[in-house]
Amino acid sequence: MSELRLEELSASNIVAANTLSLKPGQEQFVAPVSHSIAEAYVNPVTAWPRVVLEDDEVVGFIMGNFDPDAPEVEFRGCIWRINVAATAQGHGVGRFAVLALADEARTRGFDRVTVIFEQGEAGPAAFFEKLGFVPIGETPYGETIAALDL
Ligand SMILES: CC(C)(COP(=O)(O)OP(=O)(O)OC[C@H]1O[C@@H](n2cnc3c(N)ncnc32)[C@H](O)[C@@H]1OP(=O)(O)O)[C@@H](O)C(=O)NCCC(=O)NCCS
């Protein structure tokens, strides 16, 4: 059994986080990690950027946003970004990261976590459904908004 753990995004893991590979076809479903790093830099109060290590190797990145005052409900306690290295997908890394974010949301007093994603064959819909997220709406661009009750 491999050991999974979470670390804050920091100078020691930022390069590894920024060079995570994806499987062919997945790029269209997630913006580059560098975008999230920039967003975390300009939103230091609400952003929650974390890397996942599997046996001491960076294999995933997740960023939450926790902003109880956000005007749109889908941005109050949400997953902004998640991606798992192509070679580590299917090992439970994504589940581990989402459950860690859900724990953090619970600690901060949120009663649900939301995520926005695009539908498509190589997309993450089945993953989020497996974790218990249910669709609650659509963005003006046709993306699915889903929520996990905590
Ligand atoms: C979506 C993603 C984060 C899933 O990460 P992962 O580490 O491979 O997922 P896990 O191994 O934790 O899988 C958890 C469960 O979801 C299921 N699952 C994961 N991806 C799936 C898929 N594409 N189709 C069907 N089921 C899937 C797994 O089989 C597992 O089910 P189990 O409980 O029966 O074992 C990863 O595929 C990824 O980085 N995709 C590209 C980026 C992306 O689309 N991000 C989301 C943008 S919002």
CB-CB neighbours of 117 under 10 Å: 19
Beta bridge partners of 84: 60
Q: 29 with 8: CB under 8 angstroms?
A: no
Write out residues with Cβ below 6 Å of ligand 1: 22, 26, 29-30, 82-84, 89-95, 115, 117, 123-124, 126-127, 130
Q: Compute, in angstroms, the gap from residue 94 CA to the centroid of ligand 1.
A: 6
Predicted confidence (pLDDT) per residue in 104-116, tens digit: 999 999 999 999 9
The CA-CA-CA angle for residues 65, 67, 70, to 5°, reads: 115
Predicted confidence (pLDDT) per residue in 128-148, tens digit: 999 999 999 999 999 999 999
What's the pTM?
Answer: 0.96
Quote the CA–CA distance of 105 and 150 in Å, as a whole number.
8
> Domain 4-149, CATH 3.40.50.10320 — does that match?
no
